[in-house]
Amino acid sequence: MREAMYRAEVGDDVYGEDPSINHLQELAAERLGKEAALFVASGTMGNASAIMAHAGRGEAIIVGDQSHIYRYEVGGASTLGGSPMIVIPNEPDGMLNPHLITINMSDGSDEHSAPTVLLCIENTHNRCGGTVLNREQVETLTSLAHSHSMHVHLDGARIFNAAIALNMPVSELVRSVDAVMFSVRSAQQEPLSEVETMQFLAKAQEHGVLMGHIGEGKIRAVTHYGVDAEDIKTALAAIRRTLIDLQV
């Protein structure tokens, strides 16, 4: 990793001239089947910048009561973006009840109610024990949201782990969501990378800068090492074999 950082090509990311950052973003977008990607400094920053790009001040988002966005991100969506959170209970497997989502939606026709514009889901789900939502569950939620003109953001810090557990390409698992954040650190204990879709890339980048992020090629190089040098599935399989050998 240190050698990768030493040899990294660097440039000015502010002007889109850092070849290392550009290549990592292209790789991330390709892996997840999205139009484009944005590298930021942390998963919390990735979630916040995506939410702020989708939801303006006074526009509400629906989140689970056990979600990382609600529990562990200092209320960033509300504090920084001015978006009130409508909190509904997660099921034990991390799923959100479609009925509860529906009855908490608002189309903005009531001047006393904030319009709901974004649904946030999590996969795998941290506080629900690392549970995995399958593609059908994800698409149930995205179909519901889209039918009410809402976008869907996926906190997919460990989405590669979910894809491995389901034995399917990660791009298939996230194909119906509008934006997804993933963290190489969470999946494989490496430095960080986040991904967003093209529709709100410019807004997300602006919000990332607001929070103090500027991409740097040497950080990207070690992140790229985590994505490219070892296939995540192979690495996790090796860990699993070791744990079995140790009878853990």
Query: Which pLDDT does position 235 carry in this prediction?
Result: 56
Q: What is the pLDDT of residue 37?
A: 86
What is the torsional sign of CA 193, 69, 153, 128?
A: positive
> Is 2-245 assigned to CATH 3.40.640.10?
yes
How many CB atoms lie under 10 A from the CB of residue 222?
Answer: 19
| Amino acid 217: pLDDT | 47
Q: What are phi and psi of 202, to 5 degrees?
A: -65, -40
- Residue-range domain boundaries for the chain: 2-245
Cα dihedral 18, 76, 108, 87, rounded to 10, equals 130
**Which pLDDT belongs to residue 128?**
98
CB 194 within 8 A of CB 38: yes
Q: What pLDDT, in 10s, does the model give residues 159-197?
A: 999 999 999 999 999 999 999 999 876 654 333 344 545
Tell me the whole-structure pTM to 2 decimals: 0.80
Q: What is the pLDDT of residue 188?
A: 44
pLDDT of 147: 98
Q: Which residues of the chain have pLDDT under 50?
A: 188-194, 196, 209, 217-218, 220, 222, 225, 229-230
Residues in the chain: 248
Strand partners, 87: 63
DSSP 109-166: -STTSPPEEEEEEESSBTTTTSB---HHHHHHHHHHHHHTT-EEEEE-TTHHHHHHHH
Which contiguous run of DSSP H or E holds residue 209? helix 201-210
